[in-house]
Structure 1
Amino acid sequence: MSGWLPTAPCTPDACVEPDPPAAAVPRAVLRLTAVAALVLAGVVLSPFRGRIPAGWVARWCRWIVRAVGVRVRITGTVPPAGGLLLVANHVSWLDIPLLTAVRPARMLAKTEVGQWPVAGALAARGGALFIERDRLRALPGTVARIAGALRAGTAVTAFPEGSTWCGRAHGRFRRAVFQAALDAGVPVQPVSLRYRRQDGRPGTAAAFVGEDSLPASLWRVARARGLVAEVEVRPVIPPGVHPDRRSLARAAQPAAPEPAWTHAALVTAGERAAVNA
């Protein structure tokens, strides 16, 4: 199996809990209409992205998250300018606009994303670096492309877990993408993403896992009340501090999520072995 293609045991049925009380249907429809309008504006303006200030792009991404009814809390240090590898744990499609709100960057995405209607075209126009996750032979070339972008002074965003997790369980960071940062001699900016319910407990309404569909996930998030996205920008890891990609990936790995919830699907010995493989 390719190093780009890990799997997570999280599934919608086992892991995703609706966050009651739900918003009324008219309010959810209004939220999705606002999101669609913002995305359409992004598509129209995407050919001019080189002329649009980064601050406006970050603000637009934050508006998308707020439009769907999710409050945003961003804490921590400001990412440095220039070439930078931005890495985070992966829970939801919301992670992408949230990280762009922290630092606009070229997104590392699977080739399937480029085939999505609207979002695929928007990602391509935004300079996304598409990877063929099921082709191990493509791995060195992909790492070289990422390193080239980093050397050119571009920020690149990646999700080293390689798969979405529910947020109450997580995967370990895969090492391949960190080789690009080592080769380019650029810093790594770790970010931790968490989603909480209105009572402050970890929430899974935003999780986009397993065979979950994007329309189903959009509707679930739009109907959630009091959902909060917490974005913790952790201290940057300067180049040269870690000698190899293994130690660099370990340093960038976020802390384990709060042990407030478990599910039988995540605690069997076989699945734990798969997660740790």
Structure 2
Amino acid sequence: MNGPWDVRSDCTPGCAAHALPPLPAAGAVRRSAVFAYRVRRALTDGARLAEPPRLRDRAGALLDALGIRLDGPAPGAGALTCPAGGPGTLLVVNHISWLDIPALLAVEPVTLLAKREVGGWPVVGGLARRAGTHFIDRTNPRQLPCIVRELAELLGSGRSVAVFPQATTWCTADRGAFRRATFQAALDAGAPVRPVTVAYSQQGLPSTVAAFCGEDTFLASLRRVLAARALSVRVTAHPALTTAGRDPGLDRRELAARAARAVLGGRPAGGVPAGGVPAGPVAAPVRDAPAHV
């Protein structure tokens, strides 16, 4: 465990399975070469990678290199964030895989909230730093009020921020509980909350091949994804939840419960832990880096 706010999922690497026969080795090798080339190209962009059009294009190119089809809102259509002119939008997203990040950014580049350790990881860390990720220290529970305040300030400045309130990865899109701290930041800033669901399939069949859970390693996960046949990721944006001019009875507990019901497909949001901390792109224990992005 990396800190008192980390959460352990009961999902394990054994949850990850192909729904279709994997590609022959030669096909996976070809994908690997293209993926490596596009990672290098993104890294050479340096600070320019944070430019929204460039970030969206590079994220989409990484998915394409892996043979992953992106389903959902058209890239660049502004389907995830609310209209400009007020606070930014807090995107709350379920967490299955490190692939959630490029899938989300390929639809609409937003600021990501991540624990500071992510910045030191190979591949993912370099991309996260160049993409303008906002890093936080999750190891000190006394920092929680500061983290909430920083997030509220980001939202108040008009920047939209994506967080993973489950604080770890799960193998399917209907599991896990939402931690509440990020929702307090949205309330403080009067920012809308956009529930977003990410789900994976292979030729229409639900698939866990992209799941990145427990003691899994990045290399093992990448190998599975490279061999996955007809893998698709669907990003579904649900109606935004309004916090400005809200009902006085709407607190972070209720806001988290409403968002969880939307993201998790109507499943009751029981078991949402008290307190909590904003979950960044990585929030579960790791054995070797990068893990649980």
TM-score by length of 1: 0.85
1:71 maps to what in 2?
Answer: 69
- Of all paired residues, the percent bearing the same amino acid is 41
2:213 corresponds to 1:209 = yes
SS in 2 for 1:29: helix
1:10 maps to what in 2?
Answer: 11
1:225 maps to what in 2?
Answer: 229
2:82 corresponds to 1:80 = yes
List gaps (5 residues or longer) in structure 1.
Answer: 260-272
Letter in 1 for 2:241: I
Q: Distance in 1 between matches of 2:263 and 2:44?
A: 39
Match runs of 1:135-214 below 5 Å: 135-167=140-172, 170-198=175-203, 200-214=204-218
Letter in 1 for 2:47: P
Q: Distance in 1 between matches of 2:190 and 2:124?
A: 31
2:286 maps to what in 1?
Answer: none
2:242 maps to what in 1?
Answer: 238
List gaps (5 residues or longer) in structure 2.
Answer: 275-293
Cα distance, 1:21–1:46 mapped onto 2, change above 3 Å: same
Cα distance, 1:81–1:256 mapped onto 2, change above 3 Å: closer
Check conservation: 1:189, 1:236, Cα contact below 8 A. yes
Check conservation: 1:143, 1:180, Cα contact below 8 A. yes
CA deviation digits over 1:55-85, x for unaligned, max 9? 3322321221121011111149812244111
Deviation at 1:128, TM superposition (A): 1.5
TM-score by length of 2: 0.81
SS in 2 for 1:211: coil
Match runs of 1:260-275 below 5 Å: none
Check conservation: 2:42, 2:127, Cα contact below 8 A. yes
Please tell me the root mean square deviation across aligned C-alpha atoms, in Å.
2.5
2:36 corresponds to 1:36 = yes
Cα distance, 1:257–1:81 mapped onto 2, change above 3 Å: closer
Letter in 1 for 2:39: V
The counterpart of 2:54, out of the listed 49, 53, 56, is 56
1:20 maps to what in 2?
Answer: 20
Check conservation: 1:168, 1:258, Cα contact below 8 A. no
The counterpart of 1:248, out of the listed 252, 255, 264, is 255
Deviation at 1:48, TM superposition (A): 2.2
Q: Distance in 1 between matches of 2:272 and 2:239?
A: 27
- Whichever structure has more helix as a proportion of its residues is 1
Check conservation: 1:8, 1:275, Cα contact below 8 A. no
Deviation at 1:168, TM superposition (A): 5.8
Deviation at 1:164, TM superposition (A): 0.4
